[in-house]
Amino acid sequence: MSYERHTDSYPPARPNRRPSALAAAGVLAVLLATGACGASDSGGQGLNSASDSKQAAPGAEGAGAESGAKSADGASSAPKPGSAVAVHVIRTATLYVEVKSVPKAVAAARGVAEGAGGLVAEESTERVDDTHDASHLVLRVPQARYDEVLSSLAGTGKLLSRTSNAKDVTGQVVDVESRIATQRASVARVRDLMDKAEKLTDVVTLEGELSSRQADLESLLSQQASLKDRTSLATITLDLSEPEGNTEDPEEEGTDFVDALSAGWDAFVTMLRWIAVAIGATAPFLAAAAVLVLLWRLLRGRLSRRRTAAPRPATEPSEAPPAPQAP
């Protein structure tokens, strides 16, 4: 910013420079005095500070009028006392449900939430004592479908516990909106003063004030976004668990003939499968044993034929018994 242009380019304005500087300094003093209140007060207080700025700086009519108009526009966005205001409620619920199969119940809960236009914000499943599963889900569903979704989730199994809560935050929402309007008007006023500031010290001071007020405005906008999210979508925490010691997942509690027949057929098929596995495992050994037995039988037959074909030796006549001697 060039400061020589006021003395070189505009010499006729030199006599009015001191009153305008005093007026700007007065506006700056009033603005800094009311800045801390503007961040926490309502829109009406923002209007009062704008009117005070006008009274403190009658010579700076243009700046005061423009700032007052911006403040009035910002405050007009806040709801007036006695006007009809929409109700903003934060709804939360916690359900503990015992189910036969946790994976099936989790899939059903996910389908219910997504079918209602919501989502699954968090999901975790673990194995407890190597006997049964347990799952923890956090569902976000629209406020209009809150009761419907809650009833559907409670009917997925045996309801062990149910807790619900509704918190009216309408006043907090209105208050944050009013503070945002006031803070925006305050930021606009500081920007307007920065455009009209002539001294470097005033510019530096206004820049620090503008940075602080913009940070406050960002914080208020973050609060508004959080409130909007929590009031538009209800939060349902669902804990699912299986009965302790439940190692199977039967479709029916009892056992009938069809189940027994199916179990017997499965056992029979399993037995055949194991027999086939055993035969396959011993087949190489059986084949080797069969070859050895076949070779042994061939060798034995050949030896028998050789013995049969060989000539037998002639037998010598036996000696005659001696003749009896005469007496």
44 and 153, same structural domain? no
Q: Which of 229, 249, 275 is the last residue of a domain?
A: 229
How many folded domains does the chain comprise?
Answer: 2
209, 100 contact by CB (below 8 A) = no
pLDDT value for 53: 37
Query: Residue type for 202, please?
Result: D
pLDDT value for 93: 94
pLDDT in tens, 76-129: 344 454 445 578 999 999 999 999 889 999 999 999 999 999 999 999 988 877
The CATH number for 102's domain is 3.30.70
50, 189 contact by CB (below 8 A) = yes
Instruction: Answer yes or no: is 300 within a domain.
Output: no
Instruction: Answer yes or no: is 322 within a domain.
Output: no
Instruction: Answer yes or no: is 256 within a domain.
Output: no
163 and 176, same structural domain? no
Instruction: Answer yes or no: is 34 within a domain.
Output: yes
Q: Is 137 helix (H, G, I), strand (E, B) or coil?
A: strand
pLDDT value for 58: 35
CA atoms 293, 299, 301, 304: torsion sign: negative
Q: Which domain holds residue 146?
A: 89-169+233-241
> Which has the minimum average pLDDT: 51-65, 211-225, 256-270, 302-316?
51-65
Q: Long-range contacts made by residues 53-62, C-beta under 8 angstroms, separation at least 24?
A: 53/27, 53/189, 56/26, 56/27, 56/29, 56/30, 57/23, 57/24, 57/26, 57/27, 57/30, 58/23, 59/19, 59/20, 59/22, 59/23, 60/20, 60/23, 60/24, 60/26, 60/27, 60/196
122, 194 contact by CB (below 8 A) = no
240-259 CB burial, b ≥16 within 10 A, e <16: bbbeeebeeeeeeeeeeeee
Instruction: Answer yes or no: is 190 within a domain.
Output: yes
237 and 138, same structural domain? yes
pLDDT value for 47: 34
pLDDT in tens, 24-41: 555 555 555 555 444 444
pTM across the whole model: 0.48
237 and 133, same structural domain? yes
pLDDT in tens, 132-160: 889 999 999 999 999 999 999 988 889 99
Backbone angles phi, psi at 87, to 5 degrees: -85, 130
pLDDT in tens, 199-208: 888 888 888 8
161 and 29, same structural domain? no
105 and 57, same structural domain? no
73 closest CA partner among 153, 189, 166: 189
Q: Which of 219, 241, 263 is the last residue of a domain?
A: 241
119 and 58, same structural domain? no
Instruction: Answer yes or no: is 120 within a domain.
Output: yes
Backbone angles phi, psi at 317, to 5 degrees: -70, 140
140 and 237, same structural domain? yes
Instruction: Answer yes or no: is 317 within a domain.
Output: no
Instruction: Answer yes or no: is 311 within a domain.
Output: no
